[in-house]
Amino acid sequence: MRVEIWSDIACPWCYVGKARFEKALAAFPHRDQVEVVHRSFELDPGRAKGDVQPVLTMLTRKYGMSEAQAQAGEDNLGAQAAAEGLDYRTRDRDHGNTFDLHRLLHLAKERGRQDELIQILYRANFAEERSLFSEGDERLVELAVEAGLDAGAVREVLADPAAYADEVRADEREAAELGANGVPFYVLDRAYGVSGAQPAEVFAQALTRAWGDRSPLTLIDEGGAEACGPDGCAVPQN
């Protein structure tokens, strides 16, 4: 079974939702037969790469809330994260464009290190004092190397704005086609969708239902056509 997760590194509920989903997945009896793939979704695609601002400033301008309301929301998210065993800085975080992060996640997917990188990027954005957005490309190289990627390959991707750009855009188009207008958004075997950072119990129910509803293979065998197997290939008889 395949689970696809559309998310953004700038999304706090994606950070919390990942922990809740993984709690459900760890207890799922068929865990070893579940493939998890992370897909790209930008919450702020129009933001310029160098446009970095405090999270509270972004929230007050984007949603028209007061700074006190924005801070209360951050405090609530901090409590939600702590309940899942996650560190979350409720003060002095910043916000920026995540397109390069998504491009690196596609590189990591090719190298089999996608889950490692996304978790490191979440930690860097939500839990660490150093900025994920204002320290330049070398900060991203450092984090990608921590995830097991080659520094040279990472620098090549960051130096080429076209590298994996099509893959990111394809993910985003697919999200729109599936009806996802927010993240996190989970798709199980292209049969079930789960929206938002649901409790672990909801994810557990979704995994169980999706596994149980998988369609059995229907074999179409008209007249025993020739095939190859462990013992060799059928030889046509005249």
Does residue 194 sit in helix, strand or coil?
strand
Q: Euclidean distance between the first and final Cα of the chain, in Å?
A: 43
* DSSP 8-state secondary structure symbol assigned to residue 47: S
Q: What is the pLDDT of residues 51-62, one digit of tens each?
A: 999 999 999 999
pTM, 2 dp? 0.89
**For residues 148 and 111, is the Cβ–Cβ distance under 8 A?**
yes
Per-residue pLDDT at 92 exceeds 60: yes
Q: pLDDT class for 213, splitting at 50, 70, 90?
A: confident
Q: What is the pLDDT of residues 117-168, one digit of tens each?
A: 999 999 999 999 999 999 999 999 999 999 999 999 999 999 999 999 999 9
**For residues 192 and 210, is the Cβ–Cβ distance under 8 A?**
yes
- Mean pLDDT, residues 84-108: 97
Residues 6+ apart with CB under 8 A from 127: 86, 87, 88, 89
d(CA 136, CA 62): 25
- Mean pLDDT, residues 187-215: 94
